[in-house]
């Protein structure tokens, strides 16, 4: 058993009263390794609704900080979109939206970000973060369409207009 296997096994071991902090510490240790098993492991932690929110957020942050191969990007994006669409706490959804800003080249991501930005029932900080993550995709037909829709939004409308001007599409 190598170090990565040992740390992953410790992470999955039965919980005790200090399990959240223990898992967070194990995730920090695991982050030191550049190992192909890490991304699937982190995706599992992120998407596990039984896992503590703090642990899921730590998984999202580690996935967001890079070292993704081109082949891993669609799977990570799908996991982040899944977190957005489930009943996850808003702070976890915010981490997912931030991570999606790094993955706007994955076809499903702009639509997911646009859905959050347009949904007026979402918290403003989540909507605005989705807006700024979507902006990173640049002026492609879908993002231009989404920003045009957002121009009518009471909160994000002026910002959407500014982005469209910057992109020179209005």
The range of the structural domain enclosing residue 135 comes to 3-166
- What pLDDT, in 10s, does the model give residues 53-106? 999 999 999 999 868 999 999 999 999 999 998 678 999 999 999 999 999 999
- Give the per-residue pLDDT at 69: 93
Instruction: Give the CATH number, domain containing residue 16.
Output: 1.25.10
Cβ atoms of residues 80 and 99 within 8 Å: yes
- Rounded percentage of the chain residues whose pLDDT exceeds 70: 96
Half-sphere exposure of 89 (CA within 13 A, CB side): 13
- Give the per-residue pLDDT at 88: 83
What's the structural domain count of the chain? Answer: 1
Ramachandran category for residue 66: left, alpha or beta (phi over 0 → left; psi -120 to 50 → alpha)? left
């Amino acid at each position: 058993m190598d170090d990565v296997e040992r740390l992953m096994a410790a992470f999955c071991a039965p919980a005790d009263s200090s399990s959240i902090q223990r898992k967070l510490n194990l995730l920090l240790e695991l982050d030191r390794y550049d190992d192909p098993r890490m991304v699937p492991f982190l995706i599992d932690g992120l998407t596990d609704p039984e896992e503590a929110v703090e642990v899921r957020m730590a998984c999202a942050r580690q996935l967001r900080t890079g070292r993704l191969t081109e082949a891993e990007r669609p799977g990570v994006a799908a996991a982040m979109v899944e977190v957005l669409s489930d009943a996850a706490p808003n702070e976890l959804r915010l981490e997912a939206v931030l991570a999606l800003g790094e993955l706007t080249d994955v076809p499903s991501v702009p639509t997911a970000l646009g859905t959050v930005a347009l949904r007026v029932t979402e918290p403003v900080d989540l909507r605005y973060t989705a807006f700024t993550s979507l902006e990173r995709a640049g002026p492609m037909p879908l993002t231009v369409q989404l920003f045009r829709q957002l121009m009518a939004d009471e909160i994000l409308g002026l910002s959407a207009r500014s982005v469209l001007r910057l992109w020179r599409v209005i």
